[in-house]
Chains A and B, each alone.
Chain A
Amino acid sequence: MAAPIAIQLEFGGGAELLFDGLKKHHVTLPTQTEPWDVKQLLVWIQRNLLKERPELFVQGDSVRPGILVLINDADWELMGELDYQLQDHDNVVFISTLHGG
């Protein structure tokens, strides 16, 4: 059992439009049996935060190509991408590099 963890999510480069135009979100992920990883976080975001057009944010299991992910100010490629296990107070940033957001 993993305790609920509080993390900060940030959206930028136009990705915030899919989240009511709000750039920063402080969220608490509920208790669940396995530890939270980024893959599950994406599912959670899709269910709880995403306001419209999920295909513009996620594709398959991962984020849409062209959206960058930073975990605690570092490239998620260095952190194991989808398999990274989230810690309490982590900061996850999503930046869209696509034209027009």
Chain B
Amino acid sequence: MCQVNEEYHDGLEQAQVPGVSKKCVKCKEASAAVVIRAGDAYCRGCFKEYFIHKFRAMLGKNRIIFPGEKVLLAVSGGPSSCSMLSQVQEGLSQNAHKKLRFLPGIVFIDESGVLGQSLEERQKTVSELQAVFRATGFPFHMVPLEQVLEVPSSVVVTAPSPSDQPASAYKAAVDRFIQRDSSCPTSQEQKERSLPVVQEAHTRLLQQLVGSAKTLTAKQDLLNTLKQHLLVHTARTEGYSKVMLGDNCTRLAVKLLTSISVGRGAQLAQDTGFSDTRYGDIILVRPMREYSAKEIAFYNHMFSVASVFVPSLDTKSTEKASIQRLTESFVTKLQTEFPSTVSTIYRTSEKLQTSCRSSSTAEPSDRCLLCVCAMDTAVEDASAFQATLTSVQLSQVKVPGSCSTKVPGLNQAPVELQAPAPSGQCCSSGGGGGEDCGRAERGGSCCSSTEKPEAIDLKSLLCYSCQLTIKDMSSVECLPQYILSEAKRRQRRSQMREDISEFLLCDGDGDDS
């Protein structure tokens, strides 16, 4: 990349002589309005056709959404998801050439409570979005993120997928649907769920939770995890089997590089692929993944697709505020000089596969408590993961020895929940202030013990990247109850398995509850 010098640059610029009168590369008649890829200028009409076709082609090619199926559209208010909504609307309209045949519903998760917005501000955003949703005629659900505090712990458990459907099942389902369709028109009455009243205490708890993470990187990561859990929970309770996410190509390219940087390499395929099966019964789909942010912005502007700007954690933040932000600015900067950057990264993501156990087959107990992906931590001794752990251990050796010194940055303690201790500073609180710590008479390493029955060792239940996120939090006690109780359950389970291990004929037999 650094070798591309001025000479190259001249060539590039000469190739695309700017001119207002440039014609569309497709119809060669109308004057061009948007440059999609370098040199490919489309006129308004051709661009619209191209855009609409791409959405249908994406769904048609992947054959994952069955006719008559209930699909939940996750709309954040941003350009991508609003564009997705308009494409679904377009595809379902009577005169559509190849009509889409699923039953859509909309969900909006209001995360503005985390940002400390006032109720009036929140209500304003919500009512703006409600107006957009009402216009579609689809049923919609407005869910405040505070509800994540009340979801059951089954959210983080992978449910068995209904059954593996063979490729022929899709065709059969289409035929069945067409027969049925002629007799009874499928019209959904529009159900409205307005934003339930949010308890102030819940908002505070949520703010506390996100606030307990020190870096913006961890905050965003945590927030995304919670949002995804709430999406899956909403889909399950409302009877949807697919959730459509609005991630576009640019977003996914950023996500890919970010994921690698935060240690989620093993989960890349699930995080960025077209379909994401980690939850089993609910499949997350990303139909917008072939559109670049630019295409979407242009389409929305030209064909007045309404979107509502909702501020997020990283609004107005600087370039280096978080890994996500930095990666985004890296990619977009590179993109202006080298217009194929995003598509190159994105194409790479399509080819990625995980070598460890596939995420769809892993046992529920082998999945990360937070991201619900197959664990990447069960690897052999000579791996980068073990090397990192060793390195962390080595740099912490001095901490337990000198009990009075505080090492805030490297403290490992927050990873575990010490039932009564305030925020895991048990080692440095002098003379075993935390009673747990005193009881556990274990040389220097009381912080990394796994033998205490009442303490939750979250670490063993998390994948590498989620471990890092949790490590960044000052206290895990802020985590929502569903996560903590599921952690306890899993820990009891593994404890039990250990206890009876000598009576087991082979590994994994004693797991029946």
Contact = CB atoms under 8 A, between A and B. Distances in A.
Interface string B50-79: 000000000000000000000000000001
Nearest to B16: A77
B301 A70 contact: yes
Contacts of A79: 18, 20
Interface in A64-100: 65-66, 68, 70, 73-75, 77-81, 83, 93, 95, 97-100
A101 B332 contact: no
Contacts of A68: 294, 297-298
Nearest to A12: B301
Interface stretch (B32-40, B350-358, B463-471, B488-496): B32-40
B332 A78 contact: no
A16 B324 contact: no
B143 to A, nearest CB: 20
Given A14-B309, A78-B32, A100-B314, A66 B328 contact: yes
B297 A17 contact: no
B202 interface: no
Given A68-B294, A97-B250, A97-B294, A78 B336 contact: no
Residues of B in contact with A, size category: 35 or more
A66 B329 contact: yes
B163 interface: no
Contacts of A100: 311-317
B301 A101 contact: no
Nearest to B330: A65
A56 interface: yes
B22 interface: yes
Interface in B201-258: 250-251, 254
B335 interface: yes
Contacts of B311: 14, 17, 100-101
B41 interface: yes
B18 A78 contact: yes
B35 A17 contact: no
A13 interface: yes
B19 A78 contact: yes
B130 to A, nearest CB: 20
Interface string A1-22: 0000000000011101100000
Contacts of B302: 73
Contact of A17 (B20, B313, B316): B316
B297 A78 contact: no
Contacts of A75: 32-35, 41, 298
B301 A78 contact: no
B294 A65 contact: no
A73 B33 contact: yes
B79 A97 contact: yes
A94 B291 CA distance: 19
A94 to B, nearest CB: 10
A52 to B, nearest CB: 8
A101 B33 contact: no
B284 to A, nearest CB: 19
Nearest to A71: B20
A77 B18 contact: yes
B294 to A, nearest CB: 6
A70 B296 CA distance: 13
A47 interface: no
B316 A56 contact: yes
A80 B22 CA distance: 11
Contacts of B16: 77
Given A65-B333, A70-B301, A13 B79 contact: yes
Contacts of B313: 100
Question: Quick one: which of A13, A79, A99 has the most chain B CB within 10 A?
Answer: A99
A5 B345 CA distance: 43
A91 B33 CA distance: 14
A74 B32 contact: yes
A55 B299 CA distance: 27
A60 to B, nearest CB: 11
Contacts of A101: 309, 311, 315-316
B142 interface: no
A17 B315 CA distance: 9
A53 B309 CA distance: 19
B403 interface: no
A78 B41 contact: yes
B19 A99 contact: no
B251 A99 contact: yes
B195 interface: no
B293 interface: yes
Contacts of B19: 78, 80
A95 B32 contact: no
A63 to B, nearest CB: 10
3 cross-chain pairs, A with B, having the tightest CB-CB distances, nearest first:
A97-B293, A66-B332, A100-B314
Interface of A: 12-14, 16-17, 53, 55-56, 65-66, 68, 70, 73-75, 77-81, 83, 93, 95, 97-101
Interface of B: 16, 18-20, 22, 31-35, 41, 79, 250-251, 254, 293-294, 296-298, 301-302, 309, 311-318, 324-325, 328-329, 332-333, 335-336
